[in-house]
Chains A and B, each alone.
Chain A
């Protein structure tokens, strides 16, 4: 186990973490402010990825593709908020789960109908590809570094938005007491649409960024959605800070687990068995982490709701 490999895997873990944060932040805000559990968030991730791939193929510009992902996901988010989601705010969680699950079906099959079953390709642009030499002599893909930075910038922006702006105050007030802010005369309908679209945009951006290093295909969003749920359970529903810390924890646990658990088991097991047991356990690592948090903090590390 070299420290170079360790550092590289830590960076990979951070990269996974910040992307999970983009998903989880939107989800946790939507739950905290509107009390809504949104299973369709993975679909918005997918919409962002597909929009980026389509625009990149048409124009050749990665920046335009990213802009398109934000716009398309936000627009899709606004549309479903207006059409479906706003009927769900007063409903119980079961109705919300079922309706947003129905949206997953519609989005997934709809995308497959438009784009077909084969994955699309979104390429990392030339000016962002290739390795970069980091202090210490490590070579690390520039693009992944860019993702980490982009994620951190978005995180900072989000914290500023929530902590320092009027919208942010409305969001925090809405999380604390939903009925009160209506009574205070704040336009909740507009606030809710805004929060939903913001969450959608974040998801779409994550989809586009990750789509360049993995493939863009139907169903890409749901595994990430479930990971984001794990993040929220660990971090606490309604807490963006919890989402950030939870996301980093999950990202690091998953990546480091996959890299090192097989090797760890190899210390006292024969290689074939070690790989099997190690990988199997690695695939369960974050859920075991979640279970651990549940044992001691059923409301998550920073749970508010």
Chain B
């Protein structure tokens, strides 16, 4: 069995008396989309925060790209190839669409402390950025000011910035958030094709997308993973139905 790209073992995090993460273990295998679902308040944001690097776990281990990254910060993990999109788009609104993606390419090559040559004149960076924009379908909007993009376009841009990192794995926090029916379908199709490049740990509420895309699903309730399995297994699981999905016709 190939080693997972990302693995989490026994992760725990408490805020005072509240156990936000209570012994969570999961992994992300090459080429898969692993969806993380759970009711509101289950602790998904805290878990994502610990995996991405902003929150320090109380106990447990996180391994990525063959290394123990538990003690590393967000930027270090990003440099190792962990790409992420945010639930609420984190984009530089004053910059152009292209500039935002160039930032991603810049980070990937770690070349920020350059002071003389214009960044938009750097052919390598700009090409990488343009490629990423092409893939998410925003090429026509490259020169537009990010503040003028529609919500759906901003979600696409989020993905483009993560792409420019050429990551080894994606951490996506509700990429469908706020997208309409058409946008969701497009994003779903896009993510489907993306998994071959780098596996995706996908936090989502949109159940259609989850069941359409996910190779495996983990269900997080009150900080604990109560089930991990394929879509059929999860749909059939009684614990999951009781805890989360509610009674369904079989």
Q: Do chains A and B touch in the complex (CB under 8 A)?
A: no
Question: CB within 8 Å of B: which residues of A?
Answer: none
Question: CB within 8 Å of A: which residues of B?
Answer: none
